[in-house]
Amino acid sequence: MLLTISDLRKSYVTADARITVLDGVDLKMGAGETLALTGESGSGKSTLLHLVGGLDQADSGHIMLDGTDLTQLDDRARAGLRRGTVGVVFQQFNLIPSLRVVDNINFQARLAGRHDAAWCADLADRMGLTPQLNKYPEQLSGGQQQRVAIARTLAPRPRLVLADEPTGNLDEDTAATVLSLMLDLVRDTGAGLLMVTHSQILAAQMQRRVHLRKGRIA
């Protein structure tokens, strides 16, 4: 198993009460598997993704990723994991506005010490970005910016890609094209893909679907 989540729990304390977001989640993913995570707003989808990505800490339970228990890592170790083992694609593109497209694509791989110029060039070509390499993010369409974000995430060849509504800001046709490209590249690298989506059309393109309801796998 690439990913094994056991009895994962997470809550947040407000001024009035403690709100339980994840209430004993169990989930397994194999290497190279693509999985859609669906559920209503507030069901805990993004929280689960953030915990797997090491962006937040669980209250209890375990997240075993490629043999490492993320719940036992400190902030620095989790950041190191995000540089190479886990890649995250957000709904907001989060590109660096002062860097050209080519440098945005190379950024994550350089940070991880895994820069491969030929691979990054191949990613740009397959994402249809070669003519845009010397442009800046503000000069691109939304679909082009999301392609840059996906290429940047895949540049270090992560073992697991996490995608939180990666096409949520795109129109339906562009979203389908971007997801198809991402699935092709993930398949070629052998990475697993865990994607949060509200779209039943996009979820149907994944190998498996898991539904969260009130913090639990339904």
Cα(127)–Cα(153) distance, integer angstroms: 13
Domains of the chain: 34-58+72-217 (3.40.50.300)
For the chain, give the mean pLDDT.
91
Cα dihedral: 74, 3, 47, 87 (round 10): 80
pLDDT at 27: 96
**For residue 58, is pLDDT > 90?**
yes
Q: Which residues pair with 102 in a beta bridge?
A: none
**For residue 181, is pLDDT > 90?**
no
Cα(159)–Cα(189) distance, integer angstroms: 8
Q: Tell me which of 66 and 102 has the higher pLDDT.
A: 102
Per residue in 13-37, pLDDT (tens digit) is 888 888 999 999 999 999 999 999 9
Judge residue 119's burial from the number of C-beta atoms within 10 Å of its C-beta, 0-12 exposed, 13-18 middle, 19 or more buried. middle
Q: Which pLDDT band, with edges at 50, 70 and 90, does 195 fall under?
A: very high
Q: Which residues pair with 89 in a beta bridge?
A: 163
Per residue in 84-121, pLDDT (tens digit) is 789 999 888 899 999 999 999 999 999 889 999 999 99
> Which two structure tokens, joined as six digits, stand for 18?
């403690």
pLDDT at 155: 93
Cα(41)–Cα(158) distance, integer angstroms: 28
